[in-house]
Structure 1
């Protein structure tokens, strides 16, 4: 994690914010001691609707063969 003193942080705030937004946190120091960390804000995830997920899986057709048979056929037949 890069370290920047507070005076340089003031002078280069836009660059430091861009760096943090890209996923690299920045430690800000005062008199050589860490006082703050600049990090990106994580976007909140939408919760998964179990009803929607169930409706999606219910609408999918069942496979005619087992997963093992399917993989064996891919492995032995087509030779990718």
Structure 2
């Protein structure tokens, strides 16, 4: 598996997508480990955005 930084990934998105489709399943272990450490937010996305907006407004 190759590692590609964000700048190169943006420039080569079509190529990388074609390679991903041709290679079959993608290993998402790193994504799983990242999301496993995230805190659960009981409120919905709209409420979260509203809270952030209102706290910056005043």
Report TM bin, short chain.
Answer: 0.3 to 0.5
**Higher RCO by CA contacts (8 Å cutoff, separation 6 or greater):** 1
Higher normalized helix content (fraction of residues): 2
**Normalized against structure 2, the TM-score is what?**
0.44
Higher normalized strand content (fraction of residues): 1
**Normalized against structure 1, the TM-score is what?**
0.34
